[in-house]
């Protein structure tokens, strides 16, 4: 590939003065070794109770079945006293025997969501597994009812004479502030999404609507407005590593009608948002770090009603990315602030980003003062971090499953 002299010079300049290892950025947040309460490895989902005394988790286990070519997959919801590392109760949600593929692999049979959430009053646990919602009593995980999801249905297309079936999957679920409903996000193909609302008492589907055009497959979640009247979603208007355009990428829907009420453009490839009671929307970058762009993205704050850009919040040397989580009481918010670096492929003349360390930072939601930045947490998945209702703890799942006590 031939490269122009101007482009080559720009790249050399970036590598000489702008690599992630030597980026000139804002002063880092005060970093602290947070007290950590380990949880079982490789959890799919976890949530801290509103009183911050318990953690509910969801995981998938695999065990030998009746013969060497079969494995039993079980989805388990567990209730933990995390401070004492003590299992309080467990609920086996799904159990399926799976035959080995011709190459000897065993595919997890549960497609889509593996999500657990506490109701805002702490009385219920909602476990969404596959295409079923299990409503559980929070004290002992006794199953009160199940709700079968409706879903948007499969789609088919023909590619080079072959029929390809696309099966929609659940990628997010959040309980309403009054605890009466749960919102579920379905993703079909890359641009196709649907939101459904279910009544948790009756199990009835009460509302549904299709999401606006955009790359909804990269969306990290849903956000209820604290008043319970609006449901927000960020849908990137370009793919990761692309350049965002001016099309709206934050959308707020009236939950009674499903009608779009507000929309605006953040100027980012926004994949995660949070919303406050006074209509501030917090948005973070989901784009790749490039040689010349997205070196130090700031968390941006907007007015929901007008879409006006209100202010920015800085992170460590290479910015705030991938996820933002706000406490239910409106006191704090959290974002991923791990350091990044750029690796450049001179053969294909493309750059890729890589994580140097994995930290999250917490800010005061009223003053925007930095509260703390965590220690480097190996294996931390930035898309899974959640802040507790009162903002005194954070929880993560995946390769680094734990609860973190905040100052």
The predicted pLDDT at position 12 comes to: 32
Residue 293 pLDDT: 54
On the question of pLDDT at 373 being above 50, the answer is: yes
Q: What H or E segment, with its residue span, contains residue 271?
A: strand 270-275
Q: What is the mean pLDDT of residues 337-356?
A: 70
Flag whether pLDDT at 108 surpasses 90.
Answer: no
Pair of tokens at residue 340: 């990044």
Same fold: 37-208 with 211-407:
yes
Residues 6 or more apart whose Cβ sits within 8 Å of residue 129: 58, 75, 93, 94, 110, 113, 114, 115
Q: Once rounded to an integer, what is the mean pLDDT over residues 284-307?
A: 81
Please provide the average confidence, as pLDDT, over all residues in the chain.
87
Q: If pLDDT is split at 50, 70 and 90, which confidence band does 1 have?
A: very low
Lowest mean pLDDT across 210-214, 264-268, 280-284, 339-343 = 339-343
Encoding tokens for residue 366? 């009223």
SS3 22: helix
Give percent helix, percent strand, percent coil of the chain, each to the nearest 5.
5, 45, 45
Task: Report pLDDT for 179.
Answer: 97
Cα–Cα distance list, 293 to 61, 241, 242 (Å): 41, 10, 10
Q: What is the pLDDT of residue 319?
A: 87
Helix (H) or strand (E) holding 6: helix 5-17
3-class DSSP state for residue 241? Answer: coil
pLDDT at residue 151 in the model: 87
pLDDT band at 294 (very low <50, low <70, confident <90, very high): low
**Residue 53: pLDDT over 80:** yes
- Return the pLDDT at 349: 53
Collapsed DSSP state (helix, strand, coil) of residue 12: helix
pLDDT score, position 107: 72
What pLDDT was estimated at residue 23?
Answer: 35
Topology of the domain comprising 37-208 = Methylamine Dehydrogenase; Chain H (2.130.10)
Q: What average pLDDT does the segment 73-98 reach? A: 92
- Say yes or no to pLDDT of 106 above 80: no
**In the chain, % of residues over pLDDT 90:** 66
CA distance 80 to 83: 9
pLDDT digits (tens, 9 = 90+) for 134-177: 999 999 999 999 999 998 877 777 777 777 778 889 999 999 99
- Rounded to whole angstroms, the maximal C-alpha distance in the chain is 68
Q: Judge contact between 162 and 208, C-beta under 8 A.
A: no
Taking 50 as the threshold, does the pLDDT of residue 308 lie above it? yes
- For residue 17, is pLDDT > 60? no
Q: Is 95 helix (H, G, I), strand (E, B) or coil?
A: strand
The pLDDT assigned to 27 comes to: 52
Inter-residue contact 226 to 266 (CB < 8 Å): no
For 363-373, what is the mean pLDDT? 96
Q: What residue segments make up the domains of the chain, in order of their start?
A: 37-208, 211-407
Specify whether the CB–CB gap between 388 and 327 falls below 8 A.
Answer: yes
> In this structure, what token pair is assigned to residue 80?
């933990």
Strand partners, 73: 62, 96
Task: Report the distance separating Cα 91 and Cα 281, nearest Å.
Answer: 36
The pLDDT of 394-402, averaged and rounded, is 96
**21-30, 168-177, 187-196, 216-225: lowest mean pLDDT where?**
21-30
Distance (Å, whole) CA 269 – CA 238:
7
More confident residue, 12 or 189: 189
The third-level CATH classification (topology) of the domain covering 211-407 is Methylamine Dehydrogenase; Chain H (2.130.10)
Q: What is the pLDDT of residue 113?
A: 84
Given a cut of 50, whether residue 22 has pLDDT beyond it is no
């Amino acid at each position: 590939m031939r490269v122009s002299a101007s482009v080559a010079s720009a790249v050399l300049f970036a590598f000489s003065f702008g690599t992630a290892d030597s980026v000139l950025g804002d002063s880092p947040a005060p970093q602290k070794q947070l007290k950590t309460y380990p949880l079982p490895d490789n959890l799919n989902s976890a949530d801290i109770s509103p009183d911050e005394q318990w953690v509910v988790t969801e995981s998938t286990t695999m065990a030998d079945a009746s013969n060497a070519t079969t494995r039993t997959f079980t989805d388990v919801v567990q209730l933990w006293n995390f401070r004492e590392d003590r299992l309080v109760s467990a609920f086996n949600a799904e159990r399926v025997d799976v035959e080995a593929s011709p190459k000897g692999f065993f595919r997890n049979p549960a497609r889509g969501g593996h999500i657990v959430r506490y109701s805002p009053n702490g009385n219920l646990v909602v476990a969404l597994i596959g295409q079923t919602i299990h409503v559980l009593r929070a004290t002992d995980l006794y199953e009160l009812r199940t709700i079968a999801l409706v879903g948007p249905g499969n789609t088919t297309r023909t590619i080079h004479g072959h029929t390809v079936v696309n099966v929609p999957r659940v990628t997010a679920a959040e309980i309403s502030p009054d605890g009466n409903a749960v919102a579920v996000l379905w993703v079909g193909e890359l641009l196709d999404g649907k939101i459904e609302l279910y009544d948790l008492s009756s199990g009835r589907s009460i509302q549904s609507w299709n999401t606006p055009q955009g790359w909804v497959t990269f969306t990290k979640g849903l956000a209820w407005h604290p008043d319970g009247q609006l449901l927000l979603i960020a849908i990137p208007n370009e793919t990761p590593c692309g350049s965002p355009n001016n099309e709206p990428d934050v959308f707020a829907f009236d939950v009674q009608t499903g009608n779009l009420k507000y929309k605006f453009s953040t100027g980012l490839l926004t994949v995660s948002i949070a919303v406050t009671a006074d209509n501030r929307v917090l948005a973070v970058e989901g784009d790749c770090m490039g040689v010349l762009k997205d070196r130090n993205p700031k968390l941006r704050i907007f007015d929901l009603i007008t879409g006006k850009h209100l202010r920015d919040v800085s992170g460590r040397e290479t910015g705030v990315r991938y996820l933002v989580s706000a406490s239910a009481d409106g006191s704090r918010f959290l974002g991923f602030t791990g350091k990044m670096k750029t690796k450049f492929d001179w053969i294909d003349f493309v750059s890729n980003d890589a994580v140097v360390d994995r930290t999250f930072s917490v800010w005061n939601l009223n003053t925007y003062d930095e509260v703390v930045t965590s220690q480097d947490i190996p294996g931390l998945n930035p898309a899974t971090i959640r802040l507790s209702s009162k903002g005194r703890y954070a929880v993560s799942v995946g390769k680094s499953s734990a609860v973190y006590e905040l100052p």
